[in-house]
Amino acid sequence: MQTEHGAIVAGSDFYYASLYLAPAERERVRVLEALRRAIGDVAGQTSDRGVAHVKLAWWQEEVERLAAGVP
């Protein structure tokens, strides 16, 4: 379970699984989980296929910028 902003809720499966990670690793995994949920929300919350494609293209560009070191 998470809040709408991607924070991990104490008591969720993800919360307990992340407790076994080192703090730096835990933060990276939490960021990736928040990204995964944000991208997944596009499909669940967007009824217009064209709008969904634009939103997903935006996320793709952002991830590419992040990989290039210029988010």
* Residue 31: alpha-carbon gap to chain centroid: 6
Residue 31 phi, psi dihedral angles, 5° rounding: -65, -45
Residue 45 phi, psi dihedral angles, 5° rounding: -115, 0
Q: Which residues contact 27 (CB under 8 A, 6 or more apart)?
A: none
User: pLDDT tens digits for 35-57?
Assistant: 888 888 998 899 999 999 999 99
Interatomic CA distance for residues 38 and 63, integer angstroms: 12
User: pLDDT tens digits for 4-37?
Assistant: 445 566 777 878 888 888 988 888 888 888 888 8
Interatomic CA distance for residues 60 and 48, integer angstroms: 18
What are the sequence ranges of the domains in the chain? 13-68
Tell me what percent of the residues of the chain surpass a pLDDT of 90.
Answer: 31
